[in-house]
Amino acid sequence: MKPGFLFLLCLLTALLAGCSDSDGGDVDVDAPAEFVFVEGTIAQAHAAMRSGTLSCEALVQGYIDRIEAYDRAGPELRSVISINPYALERASTLDARYADGGLTGPLHCVPVLLKDNFDTVDVYTTAGGLALETSQPPDDAFSVQGIVDAGGIVLGKANLDEFAFGFRGSSSVRGQVRNAYDPTKGPGGSSSGTGAAVAASLAMTGTGSDTGGSVRVPSSVEGLVGIRPSLRLVSQDGIVPLAASQDTAGPMCRTVEDCALMLDAMVGFDDGEYSNQREAFAYDSALIETADDYRTVTGVPETYTGYLDADGLDGARIAAIRPLFGDGEGDNAAVQAELMAAIERMRDAGATVDVLTEDDLAARNVSIDALTDFDSNSRYEFRQDLTAYLMSWSSAVDQHPRSFDAVEASGGYEARNEGTFAFYGAIGRAIENTDDDSEQAVAYRAAYERNLEERPAIVRNGLLRILDNRAGNDLNAQALGAPYDALLYPSVLSLAPELGDSPNAGSNNRLSPFSGFPALTMPAGMVDDPDPDTEGEPALPVGMELLAREFDEPTLIRLAYGYQQTSEPRAAPTFTPELATAEQDTADD
């Protein structure tokens, strides 16, 4: 059991004992707690177990039933690649342990759907590509092991934009994921399956990986809370890489409190070869070599749930970055309007929210274009990093390909990605072959070196000038007001796109990976699609992103929970109701 879990169990017990209903009245602690799958939370599941109305097996079977009803049939979301064949066996074991001693951890019997680029010993890890459809790593990813140690159950693997390439959300293994709110719309990506499945309550929580928006984009268009942690907070061991210097894993959930519990389980120091935690990310980021260094540098708390403050917005200071809000054209107008409404809700809850214009940023010596005018490192690192991952275990049993070149040659991916493999392959070879003195190869190596050496400092310093509210990098530079706790901007500039298209992410998604700072996306609210041809269609989520200083996830959780509790911005999808209700509706027809 990881340090702090006993404390968490005590905290959860206290929280459950003091729960109140949505009207503010005291809950009848003698009344049996019935678990409802649609929008069901970890605390609600544990309360039902304590009252004797829910077993772990019933919980896991209920989610499997929902996958069969809504992912394989019904709206056919195509969000789940595989179901863990040992999930029910694990549930039975946890039921026996619960009977002996109660909850086994903060995630006791929480069915978690993993993006299918997280290694698991029980289920193939395909990254969405047919080239890896029989790939079976020998152990769980470090973060997955943390989830299991906390009592969680790997329910299965979620579909994704194959190899985490983009925001469309389709793969050669399972096809195109559909949006849970409107199956004619796209789910974003690359963690598209996790986003759609968790939004539709096909799992209690999920995981995603984020290189340049892959947790935050699908979370935005699916109405979820998604956290891209600070670089190095979560080990990257056992996660199929896209760009090791930018990749990180994070939780995707329907509530802030469930994401806080997931983050507790996923963090921790990993001394393994592929953790990507020990190297300093930037000139001002301290080196991590030991578990003590990790605790000192990251300041990781006993539990992130300690920052679940319903009054978390009271007294908060937030800078809304107006140049990141979009051009106001098309459905971006609806996104902007909902973000401005969210700002007013924050102010009503006691927050100071300053809307900073381009002139305001110029006074802080910041240009948004200068912060975002860099390439993603995926183009420079994918070839080398994928090969290193595939070489990390023997192919004697599963016969998985052992290199990028082998994957590319196999053709085991969607035809639309042939050009991507060719592009990444050409750049990767130029980076690796320092004897290639062609003009193009030299330019690639120079651009990559600039990304590694200049980009972190430029982006971090620019963001810190805004957060610290000062005119220059010098700590003695003119203060333009009190510092801010976080920056705010739209996670995505558009609503969910038509199926097969990608949402308009703009350049907002780049700030967190280019700086290494943490970002949390959450629903600002729900809006009707402004397209007149879609009148009468379901409301769609609008996501807003909060960005804080390095390793300041606690502030993000405090602000997000305060907004969630005061604004209740999320609504459940209508296409995936409680199964009993769906069956009754069919009978009534």
Tell me the catalytic residues.
115, 190, 214
Q: φ and ψ at 24, to 5 degrees?
A: 90, -5
Taking the CB of residue 61, how many other CB atoms lie within 10 A of it? 15
- CA 332, CA 217: separation in Å to the nearest integer? 15
Q: Which candidate, 388, 331, 383, 322, places its Cα nearest to that of 355?
A: 322
Q: φ and ψ at 168, to 5 degrees?
A: -70, -45
- CA 227, CA 209: separation in Å to the nearest integer? 10
577 HSE (CA, 13 A, CB side):
8
Burial of 362 (0-12, 13-18, 19+ CB in 10 A): exposed
- What type of residue is 417? N
Tell me if 173 sits within 8 A of 153, measured CB to CB.
Answer: no
Longest CA span, the chain: 76
| H-state helical runs in 324-377 | 332-348, 358-363, 368-372
Tell me if 382 sits within 8 A of 426, measured CB to CB.
Answer: no
DSSP code at position 536 = T
- CA 100, CA 35: separation in Å to the nearest integer? 22
Between the alpha carbon of residue 250 and those of residues 22, 205, 260, 267, 526, the distances in Å are 29, 11, 10, 9, 24
Q: Which two tokens stand for residue 454?
A: 């200049």
DSSP code at position 420 = H
For residues 472-510, one letter each, b for 16 or more C-beta atoms within 10 angstroms of the residue's C-beta and e for the rest, the string is: eeeeeeeeeeeebbbbbbbbbbbbbbebeebbbbbbbbb
Lookup result for tokens 């971006």: 332
